[in-house]
A and B are shown apart, each in its own frame.
Chain A
Amino acid sequence: MTFTRRQVFGLTAGAAAFVAVAPRISFAATDDTEAAIKAFTGGAEPATGTVTLDTPEIAENGNTVPVGVSVESPMTADNYVESVLILAEGNPSPAVATFHFTAMSGAAEAKTRIRLAKTQNVIAVAKMNDGSTFIDRKEVKVTIGGCGG
């Protein structure tokens, strides 16, 4: 397999762009958001999986963005999801809402509508009754910000 000079330049530029962008996505969380996650988990680093965020890819109006969260759990008296924290790291204040479930909830699922100031990551952190924590992040593109000027 041989490359022309032009192809080589294209590939290198593409790879460089990817490397430059990737860290911004994974480490975009602001200090406030990190602090909020730490406070919620008690300092532990949450694992991925188990919790699923359901957000639209593009939100035209940042004033009401439908957000759903569901956690895999049997939801019995000795094995259930205690609470789920929702954060929006690009908002003036990242905290959005905290859901508290009980064994009476039957299924750890909740939906609400939130405000997003700009295109950003929405984060859900779930805490089980045994103390283990799980995290999920989704990027939502916002056309019109929802924090009124």
Chain B
Amino acid sequence: MANPKPRVKVPKKASKGEVITIKTLISHPMESGQRKDKQGNLVPRQIINTFKCEFDGQLVFECDMDPAVSANPYMEFNAKVENSGTFKFTWVDDDGSVYETEKKITVE
């Protein structure tokens, strides 16, 4: 399938100790393995099974997904920032592909 495009929204600036909200979305069909094609054959399961968010190497939030997560999985969660740094977002596909993106934040 076409390369899934991750989209992430992180505030550019935050004050020290602030709890910020991060929103992420990645385009992916999330084939549940329940659906049938026109010939009546089951479409094999292919989903993103793990999502991870790290801040300068420290785990912030992780999510294990099952086929019941909608297509183009959307995640909204929080992070507490004490210093400037980089958020790293990782999605892992059933076929082993890994999609990554990074966002910087400045703490004043």
Which A residues have a C-beta under 8 Å from some C-beta of B? 63-65, 68, 75, 88, 91-93, 95-107, 109-116, 146-149
The residue from A88, A93, A96, A100 contacting B61, defined by CB atoms under 8 A apart:
A100
| Residues of chain B with a CB closer than 8 A to A111's CB | 74-77
CA distance A105 to B19 in the complex (A): 8
Given A93-B66, A95-B66, A104-B55, are A109 and B78 also a contact pair (CB < 8 Å)? yes
Please encode chain B, from 40 to 84, with 1 for each CB lying within 8 Å of some chain A CB and 0 for all others: 000000000000000100111111111111110111111110000
Q: List 27 A-B contacts (CB under 8 A).
A: A64-B70, A64-B71, A75-B80, A95-B68, A97-B66, A97-B69, A99-B63, A100-B62, A101-B61, A102-B59, A102-B60, A104-B61, A105-B77, A105-B80, A107-B19, A107-B78, A110-B61, A112-B63, A112-B70, A112-B74, A112-B76, A113-B69, A113-B74, A114-B70, A115-B68, A147-B32, A148-B36
- List 4 extra interface pairs beyond A93-B66, A104-B79, CB under 8 A: A99-B61, A99-B63, A104-B60, A107-B78
Is B39 at the interface (CB under 8 A from chain A)? no
Question: Shortest distance in angstroms between A93's beta carbon and chain B's nearest beta carbon?
Answer: 7
CA distance A116 to B76 in the complex (A): 19
User: Which residues of B in the span 26-44 have a Cβ within 8 Å of any Cβ on A?
Assistant: 32, 34-36
Question: Across the interface, do A114 and B77 meet the contact criterion of CB distance under 8 Å?
Answer: no
Question: Across the interface, do A113 and B79 meet the contact criterion of CB distance under 8 Å?
Answer: no
> Which applies to chain B's interface (DSSP): helix, strand, loop or mixed?
strand
Which B residues have a C-beta under 8 Å from some C-beta of A? 19-20, 32, 34-36, 55, 58-71, 73-80
